[in-house]
Chains A and B, each alone.
Chain A
Amino acid sequence: MVKNNQIKRGVSLYSYQEEFFLRKMTLEDCIAASAKMGALGIESIAEQMMPGFPNLSDAFYAQWQDWMAQYGTTPTCHDMFLDIKKFKGRLMTDTEMLESVVRDIKHASRLGCTVIRVIVNTPPEIMAKAAPYAEQYNVRLGLEIHAPFNFEHEWIQRHLEMYARVGSPYLGIIPDMGIFEKRFPRVRSNRYVRKGAHPHIVQYISEVFSRHEGFNNLLEDVKKMGANELDLAMANDIQHMTYVNPRRLLEYMPIIFHVHAKFYEMLDDYTEYSISYEEVIPVLIEGGYSGYLSSEYEGNRHIQDAFEVDSVEQVRRQQVMLSRLLGEA
């Protein structure tokens, strides 16, 4: 297969949260590990790995640029949050929300990022007000489409309607590949069993999920099977998971700024257990997507109670898979 697309590979440093939390890897280690596997686009979460944010020093930004040069990496996306509930007893005002978003736009610009992952609780009217700043700093704002939200959700529709009204090329979306959950992640179901769920009920719920025919009677069904609290928790979990037909992406291609290549478990054969990358990547190629696929490993939290987490190896395997699906040599 010859590479017939302009899609680029990168990593969200979110992937290495286990090792960073436990102080086994530094920010520089995370960048170096990504570069080593040829994933040259670096997505970062300031509030996770840049202590002191939003008051980062000039020296920090200089250091960041030095790392990018040294490792041959490119800053891609900054993941922002909007702490609407920062003040106990009241929500942020519109002015405070806009200030917070502009703060993040400036930070992303200083890192050299060209995209911001806008957290889903950001109101459409705040994004509209932030669009001129996004243009001024040349940082595009991509609202994350992340389960349990999907394209049809009323909240997402409100954003898409606002985009159409405002017409700014700086407003778009970042789909998280977790919306294409074909099978219930095995690392999650195994954890339920370890915590005391019934293996046959876990199996049943996993099968119901895989059929994607709705879960209307699921809670009643598992109760009849003698479900305990953990079985019910898992049955509740799947109500928040989605399997969207990947071809839906084709409707949104011009406003897809960045892609979160979420995954939970890369197998020895370099496939992902639950998310159907074999279906999704060809659609992105067909649609002419030319941005980054940013690895986002989220399996650590499901295995850390019983196994040693190796985020770097998991990301490496996903990068091998992405490279294959993109037709790289």
Chain B
Amino acid sequence: MFDIYMICEQGFRNVVENGEITGFQLKVRLPYYRGIGISMVEDLAVTVDANRFPRQALRITLHGNTYTLDEMEQEYEDRWEFGEEGIVTVQKPGGLTPGLHKIELEAVLRISYLPFLLTGGDHKVIELAG
């Protein structure tokens, strides 16, 4: 539905902590037509230049609250709002090289009236600021 807008062009950058690059971040949106309770996000997968990162390497930040994907499954109050940009932080010591990267993103959502899991995806080549 909104798959082509899942990966945001802005906000793709390395994360520096205590002077060291510990990973990278990108901003993402869900493809579904309403906001949903966070426990219904089954999975989010990030692939950069054909390398898919393990689920455990991801942290998702929504309006200031940060979760692992396992924690999200247990979160029954907070919501990922419609069109809301979440920040995905991927732990990767050294980060990514500045320049263009091919990003692939997949989201798997548990939508109660659908007899299957809803999967949405996007891919874009975007530039990591130097």
Asked if A222 is an interface residue, CB under 8 A from chain B, the answer is: no
Interface string of A20-49 (1 = CB under 8 A from B): 111100000000000000000000010111
Per-residue CB contact flags for chain A residues 93-109 toward chain B (1 = under 8 Å, else 0) read: 00000000000000000
Q: How far is the CB of B113 from chain A (nearest CB, A)?
A: 4
Is B83 a contact of A21 with CB atoms below 8 Å? Answer: yes
Q: Nearest residue in B to A83 (C-beta to C-beta)?
A: B112
CB nearest to A17 among chain B residues: B33
Question: Contact partner of A48 among B34, B110, B112, B113, CB < 8 A?
Answer: B34
Residues from chain B with a CB closer than 8 A to the CB of A22 are 5, 83
Contact of A47 among B1, B34, B73, B76 (CB under 8 A): B34
- What is the 8 Å Cβ interface bit string for chain B, positions 1-15, against chain A (1 contact, 0 not)? 110110000000000
| Given contact pairs A82-B112, A83-B37, A88-B73, A21 touches B82 in the complex (Cβ within 8 A) | yes
- Chain B: minimal CB distance from A26 (Å): 11
Q: A45 to chain B: closest CB distance in Å?
A: 6
Contact A85 B40, CB 8 Å, known A17-B33, A21-B82, A48-B35: yes
- B contact residues around A51 at 8 Å (CB): 35, 79, 81-82, 84
* Distance between B6 CB and nearest chain A CB, rounded to angstroms: 11
Q: How far is the CA of A87 from the CA of B37 in the complex (A)?
A: 10
Any chain B CB within 8 A of the CB of A81? yes
Inter-chain contact A121/B113, CB cutoff 8 Å? yes
When distances are taken between beta carbons in the complex, the residues of chain A under 8 Å from B105 are: none
**Is the CB of A208 closer than 8 A to any CB of chain B?**
no
When the two chains form their complex, are residues A47 and B35 in contact, meaning their CB atoms are under 8 A apart? yes
> A301 contacts which chain B residues (CB < 8 A)?
1-2
> Which of B1, B5, B40, B112 has most chain A Cβ within 10 Å?
B112
Contact B36 A47 (CB under 8 A): yes
- Is the Cβ of B4 less than 8 Å from the Cβ of A47? no
In chain B between 51 and 103, which residues have their CB closer than 8 angstroms to a CB of chain A?
Answer: 73, 76, 79, 81-84
CB contact under 8 A between A85 and B5, given known A23-B83, A48-B82, A51-B81: no
A86 close to chain B: CB less than 8 A: yes
Tell yes or no: B39 within 8 A of A by CB: yes
Q: A45-B34, A49-B82 are in contact. Are A86 and B76 (CB under 8 A)?
A: yes
Contacts of B76 in A (CB 8 A): 86-87
Report if A321 contacts B (CB, 8 A). Answer: no
Query: Chain A residues near B110 (CB, 8 Å)?
Result: 85, 88
Q: A85-B40, A88-B73 are in contact. Are A120 and B113 (CB under 8 A)?
A: yes
Chain B residues with CB below 8 A from A48, complex form: 33-35, 82
Q: How far is the CA of A305 from the CA of B4 in the complex (A)?
A: 7
Q: Is A219 an interface residue (CB 8 A)?
A: no
Q: Which residues of B contact A49 (CB under 8 A)?
A: 82
Does the CB pair B2–A86 fall under 8 Å?
no
For A119, the chain B residues whose CB sits under 8 A away are 112-113
Contact with B along A294-310 (1 / 0, CB 8 A): 00000001001100000
Closest to B30 in A: A21
Q: What is the CA–CA distance of A23 and B34 in the complex, to the nearest angstrom?
A: 14
B35 touches A86 (CB 8 A): no
Query: Does B81 contact A21, Cβ atoms closer than 8 Å?
Result: no
Question: Which residue of chain A is the closest to B4 with respect to CB atoms?
Answer: A305
For the A-B complex with A17-B82, A83-B112, A305-B4 known, give 19 more contacts whose Cβ atoms are closer than 8 Å.
A14-B33, A21-B5, A21-B82, A45-B34, A47-B35, A47-B36, A47-B82, A48-B34, A51-B84, A82-B112, A83-B37, A84-B112, A85-B111, A86-B40, A87-B76, A88-B42, A88-B73, A88-B110, A119-B112
Which 4 A-B residue pairs are closest in the complex by CB-CB distance? A121-B113, A21-B83, A47-B34, A84-B112
A residues neighboring B (CB under 8 Å): 14, 17, 20-23, 45, 47-49, 51-53, 81-88, 119-121, 301, 304-305
